[in-house]
Amino acid sequence: MDFNSSIQRLSIMIVPFLVAVIFHEVAHGFIAYRWGDSTARDQGRITFNPAPHIDPLGTLILPVLMMFTGSGMLFGWARPVPINPSRFKKYRAGLFWVSLAGPAMNFLLAGLSGLAFAAILRFVSPEFYLFEPLMEMTKVSVMLNFSLGIFNLLPLPPLDGSKMIESFLPYNAMKAYESIAQYSFWILLALMMTGALSILSGPIHFLTRFTLMSSISLFQIPLGLP
């Protein structure tokens, strides 16, 4: 991939990526506040301003490098919002819904991106100089958000899926389950290197295509999927 193609790929992917990871964290903080924990709000983290959420490695260096080099996968994260479950009105219910909020936000963004894709196709002239970049950006946003949402539902501590499971476990079982977190990086690395995580690509691609096709149908666009 030449330099110009790399820059073009980066310009298409960087905004959807930042929106996906930042909105994910804001959703956690907002729902935590609704359940009685104001930690994220007190630290200024319930904001769509990117600055407080940026992790230099996970939000900038690693994903930009992967985008720039045309890597077949995209991996990254924002700074996790601070959550104090002991302040929840109801511990187990709060833990479950706060954990679900991040992936749910990504699924919502995927749906909205699909609608934006169809709206651009329906109402924006192909002659408009940003027509193709906007089309690509919305398609990328659909796939990125489904990818991030599904990945975070994996039952591996400290991912959101594990916290949802913990909300149903007795105290001792919860602590034993949380202890896996010290090995999670190496487990994920092994899964990526062996290609085991590719099992997620099936549902991600299915949901992406389903969302785009459904949006096109909703806008009554008499075209096949571009």
Each residue's pLDDT tens digit, 169-182: 999 999 999 999 99
Residue 1 binned pLDDT confidence (cut-offs 50, 70, 90): low
Which helix H or strand E contains 114, and what residues bound it? helix 91-123
Tell me how many degrees the CA angle 189-195-199 measures, rounded to the nearest 5: 110
pLDDT band, very low/low/confident/very high, at 70 (cuts 50, 70, 90): low
- Give this prediction's pTM: 0.91
What is the total residue count of the chain? 226
Distance CA 110, CA 191 (A): 25
CA distance readout (Å), 223 to 46, 114, 129, 142, 220? 40, 15, 21, 19, 9
pLDDT in tens, 42-51: 999 999 999 9
| Mean pLDDT score across all residues of the chain | 90
Contact 32, 39 (CB under 8 A): yes
Q: Is the pLDDT of residue 93 over 80?
A: yes
> Which residues fall within 8 angstroms of residue 205, CB to CB, at 6 or more apart?
143
pLDDT tens digits, 135-151: 999 999 999 999 999 99
